[in-house]
């Protein structure tokens, strides 16, 4: 299985600011995914990030609010821009690994005041 790390593990931010979350994988992967997990809700896919191309966003998520970078096959960032309290959530990085199984990082717990 892939080993995935995320930074920061948690943060408390002020309204109107931005936070960039980093995701690092210990092996090269084709596709990386960013999810949001809100209390009492299912995991919601924000976007899919392939190296060398624009991220593909799901309905309800836009690039201006959640810009994503994917500079290489082991790294990606998600920025939460112009934050509001509604953005308080856990943000999870996920990858497809060998055997086409889906693995998740430890998550970033974001609180917006």
Partner 1 sequence: QKEVEQDPGPLSVPEGAIVSLNCTYSNSAFQYFMWYRQYSRKGPELLMYTYSSGNKEDGRFTAQVDKSSKYISLFIRDSQPSDSATYLCAMSGQFLNRGGGADGLTFGKGTHLIIQP
**CB burial readout 45-82, b (16+ within 10 A) else e:** bbbbbebeeebebbeebeeebbbbebeebbbbbbebbe
Q: What kind and span of H or E run contains 46?
A: strand 44-50
* Rounded Cα gap, residues 46 and 63, in angstroms: 10
* Rounded Cα gap, residues 2 and 9, in angstroms: 18
Stretch that binds partner 1, among 11-19, 67-75, 76-84, 103-111 (CB under 8 A): 103-111
Supply the DSSP symbol for 15: T
Q: Does 110 bind partner 1 (CB under 8 A)?
A: no
Comparison of 30 and 82: residue with beta carbon closer to partner 1: 30
Q: Does 98 bind partner 1 (CB under 8 A)?
A: no
Q: Does 79 bind partner 1 (CB under 8 A)?
A: no
Q: Does 4 bind partner 1 (CB under 8 A)?
A: yes
Residues in contact with partner 1, counted by CB under 8 A, come to a total of 27
CB of 109 to partner 1, least distance (A): 7
Which residues of this protein are in contact with partner 1, per CB under 8 A?
1, 4, 6, 30-31, 33, 40-43, 45, 48, 50, 53, 56, 58, 92, 96, 100-107, 109
């Amino acid at each position: 299985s892939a080993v995935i790390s995320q930074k920061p593990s948690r943060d408390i931010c002020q309204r109107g600011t931005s936070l960039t979350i980093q995701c690092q994988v210990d092996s090269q992967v084709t596709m990386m995914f960013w999810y949001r997990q809100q209390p009492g809700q299912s995991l919601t896919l924000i976007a899919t990030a392939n190296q060398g191309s624009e991220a593909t966003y799901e309905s309800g998520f836009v690039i201006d609010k959640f810009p994503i970078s994917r500079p290489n096959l082991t790294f990606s960032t998600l920025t939460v821009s112009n934050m509001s309290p509604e953005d308080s959530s856990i943000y999870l990085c996920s990858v497809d690994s060998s055997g086409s199984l889906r693995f998740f990082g430890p998550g970033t717990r974001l609180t917006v005041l």
